[in-house]
Amino acid sequence: SFSLLSFSLSCLLPLSLFLSLPSLSLFSSLSPPFLPGLNVTFDPRTMTLRWPCQENTTNFVEKETCFLKLFPLAHLQSRGGECSCTFMQESLHRGLTLEVQATVNQRPVQEKLLYTNPGADGTAVQNFSCSIYNAGFMNCTWVKGRAAPDDVQYFMYIKNKRTLLEMECPCYLQESGIHTGCHLSNLSLLSVKSYVLVNGSSPAMGIQFFDSIFLTKGIEKLDPPANVTVHCNVSHCHVRWHQPRTWHRFTHQDFQYQLDIQRQVRGHGHLCEFICVRSPVWSHLWEVTYVRSPV
């Protein structure tokens, strides 16, 4: 199933909540024994912090605010005696540090807890990449982790960052019985930004997960331009083509074209480039077109 380990930490009536990239140890500041505690839990699947709201406490607490990497995201939610704050989806496989800061009885209190990637080091998939092609298909590939046992099996899940809908890979690519890729012929779940997670299982040991957030615009491999026509006269040639079909909604400013003009006899020519492109992924070449010079 699509799940990550959740965890909790005891803290003191939070004033500000911070989410930052990882350190490599679990730690918390010492707190005075007389100060009340508050159980905070983090759900990595929904990127949500939750804790009981102690509204009847006699301690002085200022207005609470949520932060992600020191940038405020949204106001804090309170419902049914529970407070929560949901952050934007982050890549979690490298781990991250949760930090809770509070002012209780006019005294600052701080606690930190590291969320770690469960499992043995080196067991997560490696060389993970995805590409969209033919304006409607996507392949993702990976290789087995260097320390993963031979009986490991991997599973890939995709989440739409806007709707939060998720699905498991419908068609795995396999090598020696191990899932090493995923083919999707229906990309309706994808959005401009998509979250992908690959976790694993093995009877021998715990397997770490790998996750990534990618822009679909940056992984689409374009088809060649369509309907290329060439018309020449004594002085010049007109070359026309249609914008290729794409899955992502590109604009004309998103494309860059290359036109290679060569003399058939000498084999020398020059390359023309124009229109800036926002993606580094080039299409395959259009088939060669021969035009007889009118002179």
Q: What is the pLDDT of residue 275?
A: 44
Domain 7-115 has CATH 2.60.40: yes
| CA separation for the pair 39, 12 (Å, rounded) | 8
State both tokens at 61.
């607490």
For residue 48, the SS3 value is: strand
State both tokens at 147.
């320390």
On the 0-12 / 13-18 / 19+ scale of CB atoms within 10 A, 232 is middle
| CA separation for the pair 95, 114 (Å, rounded) | 7
CATH number for 222-295: choose from 1.10.3720.10, 2.60.40.10, 2.60.120.10, 2.60.120.1440. 2.60.40.10
One-letter identity of residue 220: E
For CA atoms 10, 15, 17, 18, give the dihedral sign: negative
Q: Which CATH class is domain 126-219?
A: mainly beta
Give, for all 295 residues of the chain, the pLDDT tens digit: 433 333 333 333 333 444 433 333 322 333 334 344 556 778 888 888 777 665 444 343 344 445 545 444 445 677 777 777 777 788 899 987 766 665 556 767 666 667 889 999 999 999 999 999 988 899 999 999 999 999 999 999 999 878 888 999 999 999 999 999 999 999 988 888 889 999 999 999 999 999 999 888 888 888 788 888 888 888 888 888 888 888 787 777 777 777 777 776 655 555 555 444 444 555 555 555 555 555 5
Where helices occur in 13-122 by DSSP H, the ranges are: none
* Residues contacting 93, CB < 8 A, separation 6+: 117, 124, 208, 209, 210, 211
CATH 2.60.40.10 domain position(s) in the chain: 126-219, 222-295
Residues 253-285: b if buried by 16+ CB within 10 A, e if exposed: ebbeeeeeeeeeeeeeeeeeeeeeeebeeebee
DSSP 243: P
DSSP 34: T
pTM of the model: 0.69
Q: What is the pLDDT of residue 207?
A: 98
